[in-house]
Amino acid sequence: MKEGDFAEKKSLILCQDGSPFIPYYPAGINTDKCTGCGECVKVCPQNCIELKEQNGKLVAVIVDMESCIGDGMCRLVCPEDAFT
Ligand code: SF4
Ligand code: SF4
């Protein structure tokens, strides 16, 4: 194994089934689709998302992208497929 291969192997995170873990960092939330259900807020382990009123409607807003760990739980639980 070459040195570069080893460095790559060390940085590769695998899922329990052995497939590579591909992080997801939300680019944004489609406020037209968002119903303000709050599911993404509940599951985010880093408190990156809050519900805020925008144009008289409660919607999810990413308030702390710096703390995002890319686990993708927000997108997974969103019933409206609002994450981009
Ligand atoms: S990817 Fe994870 S840490 Fe990042 S905003 Fe979504 S739930 Fe929070
Ligand atoms: S889970 Fe989806 S629909 Fe519900 S608040 Fe979050 S972005 Fe909006």
Host domain of residue 36: 23-84
User: Does residue 75 form part of some domain?
Assistant: yes
Q: Domain of 50: which CATH number?
A: 3.30.70.20
Atom 6 in ligand 2: which residue has the minimum CA distance? 40
pTM: 0.84
CA atoms lying within 13 Å on the CB side of residue 69? 8
Q: What is the mean pLDDT of residues 31-60?
A: 97
Distance 5 CA to ligand 1 centre (A): 29
Atom 6 in ligand 1: which residue has the minimum CA distance? 74
Q: How many domains does the chain contain in total?
A: 1
Distance 6 CA to ligand 2 centre (A): 40
Q: Give CA 69 to chain center in angstroms.
A: 8
User: Does residue 16 form part of some domain?
Assistant: no
- The answer to whether 60 and 49 are in contact (CB under 8 A) is yes
User: Does residue 12 form part of some domain?
Assistant: no
Distance CA 5, CA 10 (A): 9
Q: Which two tokens stand for residue 3?
A: 């040195």
Q: Model confidence at 13, in pLDDT bands (50, 70, 90)? A: confident
Q: Model confidence at 4, in pLDDT bands (50, 70, 90)? A: low
Q: Model confidence at 12, in pLDDT bands (50, 70, 90)? A: confident
User: Does residue 3 form part of some domain?
Assistant: no
Measured from the alpha carbon of residue 32, the closest ligand is 2
